[in-house]
C-alpha cells in the first residue's frame, strides 16, 4: 500500500523499517508516462520505491512559472498507487525549508553554461533540494530522466565531488509517438503551439543524422530545422542549441570524436521547453 508522508518524521516511520534497497524518484509532481517509466525502472532495480513530489521554489527564477506550475497531487497519488510505490514524500515548503536557507549547494562552472546561462541560479536550487532529499530519504539509488541531461550530469558530479553514498541512474527520455519529449509543461501548449514545439525533436534527429560528418555538420542540420520553425505560426523562439560533452557540458567542436549531447531549448508562446539527443561523433575521413 502506498503511504503519503508530509513530514520527515512520517517518512522515516514508513521507510526506516523497510528491508532491502530503496530507490528514490524525485519529481515536482504533475506525473506523466515518463515518470511512470522512471518508477517502473526503480521498481526493477530496488526492493522499495519512494517518490518525492515537491515543487522546489529555489530552482525557479524571477518571472518563471512557479505559481502556475501544475500541481495535481490527487492524480499523482493515484499514479503512485497504481505503480506500487511504497511511500510518497510530499512535503510543504516549510518542511523542506523551515528556516531561511543560508547554506546551499553551488553548481559551479558547469551550472552557469547552457541551461544555466539562461536560468541563473536554477541549478544551485536544484542541487540543494536533491541533496536535501538524499539526506532525508537516504536511498541506495536515485533514478532521474535523461531529458534533463545537464541536471543529471550535475547531480552525478555532486555525488562524486561530495562522496555521497547513492548511485545515480539515468533513464532514457520518453517521447510521444510524434517525437515530443514528455514534460509536465506540455499541458500548457495549445494544439498549434504543440505543432511548432515538434521542431525541437526534429532538429535533434536532423543533427544526430549527421553525427558521422562532424560537429559543424550536426549543428548546421539542427539549426536549419529551428530556423524554419521560427517562421511558423506560432513561431518557435529558440534559446540555445549546443553540442556538448555529456560529463562536463563544455561545448565540443572541430575534430572532436566521441560521445556528445545535442541539447536545445526554446519557447513556444509562453511555454519554455528543453530536449536533447545523445550521439557519438566521428571525424569524417578524407578520401
In angstroms, the CA 172 to CA 277 distance is 10
Residue 245: phi, psi to the nearest 5?
-70, 130
Give the residue numbers of the binding site for ATP: 28-35, 145-148, 174, 182-185
Beta bridge partners of 144: 170
Give the residue numbers of the binding site for (R)-pantoate: 59, 151
Is 35 a catalytic site residue? yes
Residue found by looking up cell 550536426 in the block: 218
State which H helix or E strand residue 261 sits in: strand 258-268
Pairing outcome for strands 236-244 and 258-268: antiparallel
Q: Is 91 helix (H, G, I), strand (E, B) or coil?
A: coil
110, with CB counted inside 10 A (0-12, 13-18, 19+), is middle
Beta bridge partners of 4: 88
Give the residue numbers of the binding site for beta-alanine: 59
Q: How far is CA 54 from CA 164, 170, 212, 225, in A?
A: 22, 20, 42, 35
In angstroms, the CA 92 to CA 55 distance is 9
Q: How far is CA 61 from CA 56, 100, 117, 127, 183, in A?
A: 11, 17, 12, 15, 19
Give the residue numbers of the binding site: 28-35, 59, 145-148, 151, 174, 182-185
Of 35, 41, 48, 122, which residue is the catalytic one?
35
The residues assigned a catalytic role are 35
Amino acid at each position: 500500500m502506498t503511504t503519503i508522508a508530509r513530514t520527515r518524521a512520517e517518512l522515516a516511520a514508513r521507510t526506516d523499517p523497510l528491508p532491502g534497497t530503496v530507490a528514490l524518484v524525485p519529481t515536482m509532481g504533475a506525473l506523466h508516462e515518463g515518470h511512470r517509466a522512471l518508477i517502473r525502472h526503480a521498481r526493477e532495480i530496488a526492493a522499495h520505491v519512494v517518490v518525492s513530489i515537491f515543487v522546489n521554489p529555489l530552482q525557479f527564477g524571477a518571472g518563471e512559472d512557479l505559481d502556475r506550475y501544475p500541481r495535481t497531487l490527487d492524480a499523482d497519488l493515484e499514479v503512485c498507487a497504481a505503480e506500487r510505490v511504497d511511500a510518497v514524500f510530499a512535503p510543504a515548503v516549510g518542511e523542506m525549508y523551515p528556516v531561511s536557507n543560508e547554506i546551499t549547494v553551488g553548481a559551479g562552472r558547469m551550472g552557469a553554461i547552457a541551461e544555466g546561462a539562461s536560468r541563473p541560479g536554477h541549478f544551485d536550487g536544484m542541487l540543494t533540494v536533491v541533496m536535501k532529499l538524499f539526506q532525508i530519504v537516504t536511498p541506495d539509488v536515485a533514478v532521474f530522466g535523461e531529458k534533463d541531461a545537464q541536471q543529471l550530469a550535475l547531480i552525478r558530479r555532486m555525488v562524486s565531488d561530495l562522496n555521497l553514498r547513492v548511485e545515480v541512474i539515468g533513464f532514457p527520455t520518453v517521447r510521444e509517438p510524434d517525437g515530443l519529449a514528455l514534460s509536465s509543461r506540455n499541458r500548457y501548449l495549445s494544439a498549434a503551439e504543440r505543432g511548432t514545439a515538434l521542431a525541437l525533436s526534429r532538429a535533434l534527429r536532423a543533427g544526430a543524422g549527421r553525427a558521422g560528418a562532424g560537429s559543424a555538420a550536426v549543428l548546421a542540420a539542427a539549426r536549419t530545422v529551428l530556423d524554419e520553425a521560427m517562421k511558423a505560426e506560432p513561431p518557435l523562439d529558440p534559446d540555445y542549441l549546443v553540442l556538448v560533452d555529456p560529463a562536463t557540458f563544455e561545448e565540443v567542436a572541430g575534430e572532436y570524436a566521441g560521445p556528445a549531447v545535442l541539447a536545445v531549448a526554446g519557447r513556444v508562446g509562453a511555454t519554455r521547453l528543453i530536449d536533447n539527443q545523445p550521439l557519438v561523433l566521428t571525424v569524417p575521413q578524407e578520401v
